[in-house]
Amino acid sequence: MRRHKELLASIATAMICVAAVVPASSFSASASGIADGTLDNTFGTSGKVTTNIGTQPSVDQALHLAIQSDGKFIIAGDTNIGGSLDFAAVRYNADGTVDTTFGTGGKVTADFANTGDNDYGKSVLIQSDGKILLIGHSEMSGSVDFAAVRFNSNGTLDNTFGNTGKATADIGNSSGDNVVSATLQADGKILIVGSSYVNNEWDFAIARFNTNGTLDNSFATGGKTTTDLGIHDWGNSVAVQTDGKIVLAGYSGTANRNELAVVRYNANGTLDNTFGTGGKVTIANESIEGYSVMLQADGKILVSGRTYSDTTSSFAVVRYNSNGSLDTTFGTGGKVTTDFGNNRSEATAMTSQADGKIIVAGNVYIGSTYAYAVVRYNTNGGLDTTFGTGGKVTTVFDATSNAVSVALQADGRIIVAGTSGDDFLATRYYSASPVPSTVPTSSTTSTSTSTSTTIATTAAPNQTTTQSAPALSVVTGLPLATRPLVANSALTLGQPLTVSYGGFTPGELVQLVVASTPQVIGSGYANASGFVTLTGALPRNLGAGKHTVALYAPVSKRGFRQPITVTTSQLPATGATNPSDTLLTAMYLVALGAGLLVTRRRLNA
């Protein structure tokens, strides 16, 4: 009995020593214990926020969501003012409260023609300088044209853009242009996509604007182009590859059905003949409509939408290889469908986590009521059963709620935006920030992942990646991050870092850099929401003193920085400066405790 107590005492002593040298961050546990997919009641009121745009009850429709680098987010769409529709947007703080520093009470509106005609807001884009673009189409003297308006970060009109802050373009030289989506290129140019009525049928349409709001004449013909695939073709979502090629997804109408369609253009607006057949891909003889497109870091293309019959419809996700062929490693033959019983459903928006899992949001019609629906898939297309119930979540707000857009906050939580009744609606679901998965590469100095939109490349301690680092003048010239890149600016040599931040172009390469002598300690690709999560370790050769940690995108030249102070080891007795060292020290102390016990027993024998 006495020896048993001695053993317990020795183990306890060793564990106390372990606790003294192993930091809490070396152990992983969920701080909240809340299951992924649970409605986040810390957001707004019971997990949701509704906003009426006008001073009086008005008919408001939300169409898109974007998150700023400081965590604030903007929902854009349109509102009925004086009997006609105008562009509208609301900016929220990260917790769902309205940001009253923006516009008037957190809201802005824009009227293009001032004639009582309708302006339909469809998309919102946030530039690297914080300026905000609202995109859509406008009725102007009997014509419907592509339209954009730009606001300064405080919500005032930016008069340096277009004509007093507004720009329009007639695409098909006809009465009908319909905008659905838009995105920013790495060089800041603006791509607006949708459909245009040409020769008595609707065709895919795309226009590119310069950063000042003028049409980019180096793109296609006069800055715009249309593409005919079938009888009526509807372009719904756009993404830009890292090589500058442009992917436009939607669907093409035949005599019997709508078929999923994807078109790829070269950076100059010509069709890319290396993709599919003559730059075009359709899935023939299947009723599938594409509403959202997303690019993976490995070049594969994801399109989400719905598959339908006369009586029902389901979520649909399709993955293509970079050449336009179906990726048969995904789902069944490259396709995944998800139903919600016998109810009609459609996937309207899509994004991805840092670990490559795919989040799709949309709507399901249950009885006589619409509900928000969110599904999370594993990278192979299988349902992620750790999310919600069997990978699915549905939330009923009212009979007419309609989800249209989804984005991830820096901590991994999921915001879904749409309309409830006649108001903007945002809701947030809990999702723990995932750790990017890693797969070994041929390099001996780093590991990387290439699953879905985000790649994390992390240098091993004492080593750096082989990527070229930006010059010190570039790093110090970056704007200060509006929220900390790292929570504690006092760091030690060899300390691991994990940095999550937004404000980048989806799909672009982002580097994690430390300076005074700039070194790349990690890199990866921004996800569909423009966020990136990167990990790395402070190099031992950095030296103690004042330095800078930064996120930097080499192509777009955008980035953010934070001053840090680096010290040598906080553990002079052991020399441990990283988790590996501390764990080795802990193991040594456990062995020492056991050895002392054995020695004591022998002395007492």
pLDDT (tens digit, 9 = 90+) per residue, 370-393?
Answer: 899 999 999 999 999 999 999 999
Query: CA nearest 350: which of 403, 406, 300, 411?
Result: 406
Cα–Cα distance measured from residue 353 to residue 429, given in angstroms and rounded to the nearest whole number: 14
Side chain identity, residue 383: L
> Distance between CA atoms of 287 and 267, rounded to whole angstroms?
30
Task: State the DSSP code for 415.
Answer: E
What is the residue whose two structure tokens read 């490995």?
298
Question: Which residues are CB-contacts of 104 (< 8 A; sequence separation ≥ 6)?
Answer: 155
pLDDT of residue 14: 43
For 58: left if phi > 0, alpha if psi spans -120 to 50, otherwise beta; the answer is beta
Q: Which residues of the chain have pLDDT under 50?
A: 1-31, 437-465, 570-592, 594, 596-605
Q: Report the pLDDT value the prediction gives residue 303, as an integer from 0 to 100.
A: 98
CA distance 479 to 163: 29
| Angstrom distances, CA of residue 380 to CA of 121, 279, 329, 377, 384 | 35, 26, 7, 8, 10
pLDDT for res 529: 67
* Exposure class string for 449-464: b at 16+ Cβ within 10 A, else e: bbbbbbbbbbbbbebb
Give the number of C-alpha atoms closer than 13 A to the C-alpha of residue 227, restricted to the C-beta side. 29
10 Å CB burial of residue 439 (0-12, 13-18, 19+) is: exposed
Query: Measured between alpha carbons, how far is 451 from 211 in angstroms, rounded to an integer?
Result: 32
Residues forming beta bridges with residue 167, ordered by sequence position: 148
The pLDDT of residue 332 is 97
Between CA 59 and CA 417 the distance in angstroms is 16
CA distances from 102 to 45, 157, 333, 382 (A): 21, 11, 47, 41
d(CA 424, CA 62) in angstroms, rounded, equals 5
CA distances to 142, 361, 426 from 174, rounded to whole Å, are: 10, 34, 36
Q: What is the DSSP string of 182-239?
A: EEE-TTS-EEEEEEEEETTEEEEEEEEE-TTSSB-TTTTBTTEEEE--SSEEEEEEEE
Hey, what amino acid is at 409? Q
* Separation of alpha carbons 208 and 217, rounded Å: 8
Contacts with 138 (C-beta within 8 Å, 6 or more apart), sequence order: 112, 113, 117, 118, 119, 120, 144, 145, 147, 168
What is the pairing mode between strands 414-420 and 402-408?
antiparallel
Query: Residue 466's pLDDT is what?
Result: 55
pLDDT at 461: 27
What is the model's pLDDT at position 32? 57
Sign for the pseudo-dihedral over CA of 402, 406, 409, 414 = positive
Question: What are 220's two structure tokens?
Answer: 């296609």
The sheet with strand 423-429 has its strands ordered as: 48-51, 423-429, 414-420, 402-408
How far apart CA 525 and CA 528 sit, in angstroms, is 10
* pLDDT the model gives residue 341: 83
Its pTM surpasses 0.95: no
Strands 559-567 and 545-552 come out as antiparallel
Q: Which residue has the tokens 């590859």?
A: 241
Residue matched to tokens 């078109």: 263
| Residue 441 to residue 523: CA distance in whole angstroms | 14
